[in-house]
Structure 1
């Protein structure tokens, strides 16, 4: 049975609302939660982007059961990997073992803000692999000094380490990232149900490890309203990550998506209140072999009705998959 998760989408709600939403998701019976980690929303219409790690800390205290996860943090530019290791260890302690550290190679949208430029994809992936090695070394305890190709760490030690370390997930989009995930990750993260990604993950050491997907949805009793909202706030998703990882800000996403039609979004995102439509959108993830799927309800002010509906109708239907 696939585990169904809830996404705290930091691009579409403020920090207090996000914590209230994940408390409600825990009450509704979601199996886990994930949290985006951005400096900026993709589109100005989304309207938010609080600091994800503060939100996660508050969520750890406000909830008692639901697992938490960064989905995903880039540990190479805006953050140094030594800092990410400390953040993750602290979250694991605060949540009493409910945290998983999701990592990825990042997006220009969030990482350009520190003024270090945006390298090509092969360099970003090399940096990601080295960053994970640094994080793993700090998780092992003791003091480390590391002088690598991309990062320097001098006499660093994590003074507060949990007994059970946070599992490390790696986001994938191609062969090289799958190799990193299989070799260095405890689980794999993907936003599309592509079997070739899971096959590559398995080839590189990922066989038997959890695989976590994500799916945007837009619940509303008025399907036309749901389609309109999804188009307004989530049309960026049709560009694909090879495009989306390169654009530097919301204005770029506005330009890149100006010709995306509401019908295009309606074809890509389950909209409305037809439970069967939502179940069929999740099914490809299950058929491909994903063990977990995190749902993203589009619209920061539409979380409460979605969570009530999910508890009453959607989650029971998804349990049948």
Structure 2
């Protein structure tokens, strides 16, 4: 049976609103939370970017729902030893209900300290070493690590959870899915791709598979499409643009090529529950165990009522 979670968007909402949404999601019957980790929003219209670890601290006091970062890049902007420290504390705050979701990142967030943005194979290599560092520190032992990309000396975490923090690896293609199968405790993605899940399983992945998608509940489908096109046109950009464009301004420029019709095709909008149910089912049929839903725009209260009344009772 699939578990349904809510996806908190740090690109679109400030920290207090994110905590309020989490409380509302729990009351509406959502079973878990995803939360994004960004230094910048994707574009100026989204308009927010709180520090995710501060928000997680507040969430740990406001809700009992499990929380996964979707996803943290532990390679460039923040050294993996510091990510290990943050994740261990988050797991203690959440009393074990925390998963560290990691990925190879985007230039949008990771270039801000002036570091070069490496090609995809190097980013995956850095991610693998970063996870090695994080796992070593989560033992609570003193760690010395002198690797190709990272150095850690005489480092020990004194505040660690009773069990090591699960690490789920993000994947959109076969190389990352194979890496997730080798080093991850789970897989996360935003595409309902059975082939991706099969690749993860074939590479040795036995843990849960998480997937997430965006919706825009509104009084009419057109109104929802208008809101989604204004706030999240970047979702429809092709190829590796999301990984290599460096600023929100560049995303705005590229998104000028995204048509309203493209958004209408891709994002469930409006008052008809069937489109929302169809998207959930696409993830279930692809083999996903957990599915997270993000409501675009300000109509959060209306969305939670709609989901609880019209959609949730029809999910098997």
Global fold match (TM > 0.5): yes
1:255 aligns with 2:253: yes
1:170 and 1:159 map into 2 onto residues whose CA distance is: 25
Displacement of 1:161: 0.9
1:129 is matched with which residue? 128
2:91 and 2:85 map into 1 onto residues whose CA distance is: 10
What secondary structure is seen at the aligned counterpart in 2 of 1:40? coil
What secondary structure is seen at the aligned counterpart in 1 of 2:162? coil
Q: How many residues align?
A: 316
Moved over 3 A (4+): none
2:149 and 2:114 map into 1 onto residues whose CA distance is: 16
2:157 and 2:4 map into 1 onto residues whose CA distance is: 33
1:117 and 1:259 map into 2 onto residues whose CA distance is: 27
2:47 is matched with which residue? 47
Alignment of 1:61-100 (within 5 A): 61-63=61-63, 65-100=64-99
Query: What do the CA deviations read for 1:97-136 (whole angstroms, capped 9, x no partner)?
Result: 1111000000000011111121111110000000000011
1:224 is matched with which residue? 222
1:184 and 1:236 map into 2 onto residues whose CA distance is: 30
Alignment of 1:151-300 (within 5 A): 151-206=150-205, 208-240=206-238, 242-299=240-297
> Measured at CA, do residues 31 and 240 of structure 1 come closer, stay the same or move farther in structure 2, by a change above 3 Å?
farther
Conserved in 2, the CA contact under 8 Å of 1:275 and 1:317?
no
What secondary structure is seen at the aligned counterpart in 1 of 2:23? helix
Displacement of 1:183: 1.2
Query: What do the CA deviations read for 1:76-113 (whole angstroms, capped 9, x no partner)?
Result: 01111111111111011111111110000000000111
1:141 is matched with which residue? 140
What secondary structure is seen at the aligned counterpart in 1 of 2:277? helix
TM-score, scaled relative to structure 1? 0.96
2:36 is matched with which residue? 36
Displacement of 1:241: 5.5
Displacement of 1:222: 2.3
2:172 and 2:153 map into 1 onto residues whose CA distance is: 32
Conserved in 1, the CA contact under 8 Å of 2:135 and 2:164?
no
1:166 and 1:28 map into 2 onto residues whose CA distance is: 27
Conserved in 1, the CA contact under 8 Å of 2:74 and 2:83?
yes
1:235 and 1:202 map into 2 onto residues whose CA distance is: 32
1:303 is matched with which residue? 300
Conserved in 1, the CA contact under 8 Å of 2:237 and 2:258?
no
1:165 and 1:304 map into 2 onto residues whose CA distance is: 36
Deviates more, 1:174-183 or 1:104-113: 174-183
Conserved in 2, the CA contact under 8 Å of 1:214 and 1:293?
yes
Structure 2 unaligned spans of 5+ = none
Q: CA RMSD in A?
A: 1.0
What secondary structure is seen at the aligned counterpart in 2 of 1:66? coil
Displacement of 1:179: 2.0
Structure 1 unaligned spans of 5+ = none
1:86 and 1:276 map into 2 onto residues whose CA distance is: 43
2:246 and 2:198 map into 1 onto residues whose CA distance is: 32
Displacement of 1:312: 1.7
TM-score, scaled relative to structure 2? 0.98
Displacement of 1:19: 0.5
Displacement of 1:29: 0.9
1:92 and 1:190 map into 2 onto residues whose CA distance is: 22
